[in-house]
Amino acid sequence: MRVSLLLFILSVSCSLFAQCPEMIWQDEFEGTSLDLSKWSFETGDACNLPQTCGWGNNELQWYRSENTTVNEGTLKITAKRETASNRLYTSSRIRTINKGDWTYGRFEALIKLPKGKGLWPAFWMLPTEDKYGSWPQSGEIDIMELIGQEPATAHGTIHYGNLPPLNRSSGESYILNSEEGTFNDNFHQFAIEWEEGEIRWIIDDYLYSTKSKSDVAPLRWPFDHDFHLLLNVAVGGNWPGNPDASTVFPQNMEVDYVRVYNGYKPYLSGNRKVSNQAKGMQYQVKNVPENATVHWVVTGDANITEGQSTENIVVDWGSESGEVSVSVDSDCGTQEISLKVMVESAFGKEYSLENFDDPARLSLDRFTGSFDDAVSNPAPNEVNNSDLVGKYSRNSSESFDILAYNISDFENAAPFLVEEKRFFLDVYTDAPEGTLILLQLENKNLSTATNYPRGRHSRFEAYTSKQNEWERLEFRFLDQPDNTVPDNSINQMILLFASNTRTSNTYYFDNFDTYGPQTIVSVEEKLKPGQFLFSISPNPIQHTFSLKNLSDEIINRIDWIDLSGKYLKGMDVELLPGQTTRLSKSNFASGLYLMKVWTTSGKSQNKKILISGN
C-alpha cells in the first residue's frame, strides 16, 4: 500500500489536471459486511486516552462495530438509544488509516443523513501521522458535518493552529433551498478537491467553499501530507447538544459509495438564490477537460444571454424558480450537472418615506455630519433622474456617524423582520464599493440601558456595489437588538453611512421607500400537485395562530427553533390534508423564530415566525 501511495503522490504532483481523473480507491458497499481490507473500527468512548474522553467533544455514544452494517448496496451506521458500558447511546466510527492514506486528490461520497436533535454525522479526514504535532496542529478536514436539528444545513471546515484553546477553524455552510427538503430526504454527493495550497468543498457538483493558505496565514497550512478518511455518527457533544424527547432512534447515516480520484471533475458555481427579475447572473463550469463540448440549459422563465457553448454563461431570471444545467462531453465521458435556483418573490413600491421632491413622511431630527436635504442631482441616470436629492457628508471624527429621522405614522415593523416587506434607497457616493449602510428602527422614548440610543428595535443592512454612480440598494434584515420594543412603536429611523469607520465620504441619496409583495397570491394558488407546504396566520403572532396543512400528506410534528439553530420545543400533532388547527405561541418571548413542520413521510419545511410583544 505504501508503495502504491508513493506512486499516487508522484502521479498527482505531475498530473493534477490530467485529462481524465482516475478512480484510485473506492468502496461501493456491494457485499454483506464491511471490507476490513479498506476500513478499521474505532470503538469505545476514548476515555482511555488523555484529554479525549467523549472523543474530545463530550459526546455521549459508545462506538461499536455492531452498529455498522452493509446490505442492499449501502453502508449503514446506526445510532441507537441503548446502554453500552456506561453510555446511554451506541453508534459506530470507521476509518481507512494505513489502508487508504492520501495527499491531494478528489474525495467524494454519496450519503443520506440522519436527523434529530443531538445527532452529529460526519465524513471527514485526519492526518495519518502527526507531522506538525497533536490536534489540530497537523490539521483536520471536515468534508461534511451536520447537526441533526438543522437537517437542511451541511458544513465544510478545516481545523488548524496551535494546541487548544489556541486552535483555529475556518469553514462555510451549505443550506438547501426550502423546496429541496433536507439532507435526510435524499442521497447527496459530498466532496472535496484538495490540491497543494487549496481545498474546495462541493455538494452535488456545486462549489460552495474554497480555503487556501491565505485563509490560515500567518499560521501554518498543515494540509500537505497524508490524511485518511473517517465516517461516523456521534450522539450529543459540544456542538449539537444532547438528544431530547423529540429525537427519534434508531437513526442511520446511509452511504452508497466512497471514491477517491487522482484528479478533478467538472463542477458548477454561481448564485443559488436570486432576486426577482435578476439580470446578468453568471454561472461557470470548472475543470472542463481539453477539447470538451459544453452545452447549457436553463428552465423556468430564465434566458441565457451570453456564453452558450462556453464555460461561462450569463442568465437573466424572471419570476419563476428553475434550474441551470450543463452537459460536459469529452473523451472522459459525459457529465451532467444541474443546479436548482430559487427566485425570490416580486416586490413593488408601497410608499415613499422621503424623496425630496414630494412631501415626506419623515422629519429631520439630528445628524452628526453635514446635511443638505434638497440639492441638485449630481449625475442623473436611469436609476435616479430626480431633480432634487439629499446630500450627506460624513463626519470623520465620529465612528458611528448618524442621520436620524422622526416618523409618527409607521404602522408596524414586524413584516420587515420576516422580510415580507423591505426598505429600498437610491445611493450615489464616492465611497469604495462594498461600503456598509445601516438602517436602524428605534423608539427614542424608551430607555433601554444596553442599547443605543434608547430603544433599538431592529437593524437592516445594505452594501454599495458602485462608486460615483446611482444604484438602488435593498436593505436586508440583520438583527433585532431589543425585542422588548413593540413592533408598532417605531418613531425614529436612523441611517449610518460606513458605520464604525472614520471616513469622510459624501453620500447623495433619494427615494427612501418601503416595498411589499407586488401581487398578493394565496398560498393555495402557488401550490403544484404534491408540493409540501403549510400556512400560518397571523404572522406576526401575538397569542394564538392557525396552522393549515396545504400538502397532500399528514402533518405529524411541529418544532420551534431559534435563529442560531438551537432546538427549543416540539410537539406531536395529527393534521390531515386541508385541515386547520389553532395553536398557542406557548411561553415564547417576543422575537424571531423558525417553525419546522414535518409530515409522516419525513418531509419538512420551515418558515420564519415573528412573535410580537404587543
> What single-letter amino acid sits at 424?
F
The span from the CA of 373 to the CA of 363, in Å, is 11
Burial of 461 (0-12, 13-18, 19+ CB in 10 A): middle
The span from the CA of 134 to the CA of 166, in Å, is 13
The span from the CA of 227 to the CA of 98, in Å, is 10
Cα 501 from chain centroid?
Answer: 28
**Residue holding cell 416540539?**
570
Q: Is the peptide bond before 21 cis (omega within 30 degrees of 0)?
A: no
Residue of 337, 369, 374, 377 lying closest to 359 (CA atoms): 374
Number of H helices, E strands in the chain: 4, 44
DSSP at 44: B
Cα 97 from chain centroid?
Answer: 32
Task: Output the CA–CA distances (angstroms, integers) from residue 77 to 21, 64, 154, 233, in the order listed.
Answer: 29, 10, 18, 7
Task: Output the CA–CA distances (angstroms, integers) from residue 79 to 30, 142, 247, 401, 414, in the order listed.
Answer: 22, 20, 11, 54, 41
Task: Output the CA–CA distances (angstroms, integers) from residue 173 to 86, 178, 188, 419, in the order listed.
Answer: 34, 15, 15, 22
User: Cell triple for residue 492?
Assistant: 425614529
Q: Enumerate residues 6+ apart whose C-beta is below 8 A from 594.
A: 560, 561, 562, 563, 606, 607, 608, 609
CA-based radius of gyration for the chain: 27
- What values do phi and psi take at 66, rounded to 5? -60, -20
Q: Is 469 a catalytic residue?
A: no
How many Cβ atoms sit within 10 Å of the Cβ of residue 36?
Answer: 11
**Residue holding cell 460606513?**
498
Q: Which of 28, 72, 82, 140 is catalytic?
A: 140
- What values do phi and psi take at 307, rounded to 5? 95, 5
Structural contact between residues 141 and 158, judged by C-beta atoms closer than 8 angstroms: yes
Rounded-to-5 percentages of helix, strand, coil across the chain:
5, 50, 45
Q: Which of 59, 145, 150, 354 is catalytic?
A: 145
Residue of 489, 404, 487, 410 lying closest to 446 (CA atoms): 489
Q: Is 145 a catalytic residue?
A: yes
The span from the CA of 86 to the CA of 75, in Å, is 27
Task: Output the CA–CA distances (angstroms, integers) from residue 526 to 478, 576, 579, in the order listed.
Answer: 28, 20, 18
Structural contact between residues 154 and 203, judged by C-beta atoms closer than 8 angstroms: yes
Per the DSSP assignment, residues forming a β-bridge with 285 are: 268
**Residues labelled catalytic:** 140, 145
